[in-house]
Structure 1
């Protein structure tokens, strides 16, 4: 199929990328085409501390903020078996990227999510999320360098909820100190949203 006729590769007058350059299999592009016919942009691996662009590791598309999460979850069901995952990749929740991964924790590695202000490295974030996932499975739907968002498949309850909220606070103080205001507040957020959300200022 001629994907150049379906997708416009955006990026300005000097943008010379085309579908073939992006290394995305036809099966994945076919899935993407179900959800958008708009511009796809190259998704670059970027050095967190220099902003220097590296290799192209996927594609990125603009979406409506209120549709981003649902879009990611729908595409994920079809893409995961192909070794690709979609995820929200910006704070405003209006961009979704699709990249090849070995598992969902590669999203955290790609986005270099960290809590540098608390001496929390990217490796520590990945390790902690894997630990929590074993106890309370979740689906990562988005991340950037200073935040990660996931939806719980199994949410802690009872005494486990308070214990888990306390763990979250110790690992990511800003979610309480600049967010919920208390452990009780965080517990209510977890029960209402059924989401794991970490961010470091």
Structure 2
């Protein structure tokens, strides 16, 4: 896609809180195959034992319930009125496993139980909608959502594709260049090809 086509595509993108869209659109974005369809953004919320013991319908039901009661509604992107992408963003304490992961434990300066620090943990962009600015639009909307919710700071844990070749599955963390373009600063590089980034609001 050339630059003109990308600019046109980006004007067709809308990002909406998931609480305002049909759940069937969420299912469309997560799909029926691959990591999103088997995780439902629950990995960072469960212990290893819970993760191994929980099947996919229960994971989906858990996300549906969290969306209704969580302080951090997730966001859905539409491209030309088609559900195209998703971003998960919440206060860091909502992600019990997050602060135990190597990248975050080694690289974040934030306290794990500080509710004023929010985390962007997951992007999903459907096949057929990639390289159209969906992730950038989702990130911008996530930052504005954090700001409106009274967040002090928002973190991300992206992959630096200039250092590390990443599959589309790996890129659920987001790409470092996308975060940097949105004004995030690199806090640390706790391991090869990974960064902790932060934006003070």
Please identify the structure whose Cα radius of gyration is greater.
Answer: 1
